Amino acid sequence: MTERTFVMIKPDGVKKGLTDEIASRIRESNLKIIEMKQMELDRETAEELYSVHEGKEFFEKLVKHVTAGPVIPMLVEGDNAIKRMREIIGATNPEEAEEGTIRADFGSDITNNIIHSADSPESFKREARIFFSEDQI
């Protein structure tokens, strides 16, 4: 089933120069990057993106991290794109991520884990609308 998902390279991934490597891994997995841009997040946008974690102890740290530098939001399309992207990026904690995943290869800790990806169709719809217009989605 062809679907779309939302992906975002976080500031630590951009700072490490991993944008091309991550884009290559996505394409090598037979997924297509439909939209991609570079931007800086303000606090309000970061809080909206991570609103599902509001009130949790790591929320503030997460918001500070994603507002610390440029990010690369993307729309990615392909068969089972949501599930496949989650497999490509690996577990949230790089120490628990499978070898060969983006987070295992490049992440340094649970906050500095390089990349975000929607975990469900509902998350995709909510997150993508924060960064892209309806005609892009």
pLDDT value of position 75: 98
Give the DSSP H/E element, type plus range, for residue 23: helix 19-28
CA-only gyration radius of the chain, Å? 14
pLDDT value of position 50: 93
Ligand-binding annotation for 113, yes or no, is yes
pLDDT value of position 111: 87
* Full domain range(s) for residue 128: 1-134
Ligand-binding annotation for 2, yes or no, is no
What does the pLDDT look like over 53-103, one tens digit per residue? 999 999 999 999 999 999 999 999 999 999 999 999 999 999 999 999 999
Q: How many Cα neighbours within 13 Å face the side chain of 89?
A: 26
Q: Is 53 among the residues known to form the active site? A: no
**Catalytic member of 4, 25, 65, 116:** 116
Ligand-binding annotation for 86, yes or no, is yes
What's the chain's average pLDDT? 95
Number of domains in the chain: 1
pLDDT value of position 1: 83
Domain CATH code at residue 20: 3.30.70.141
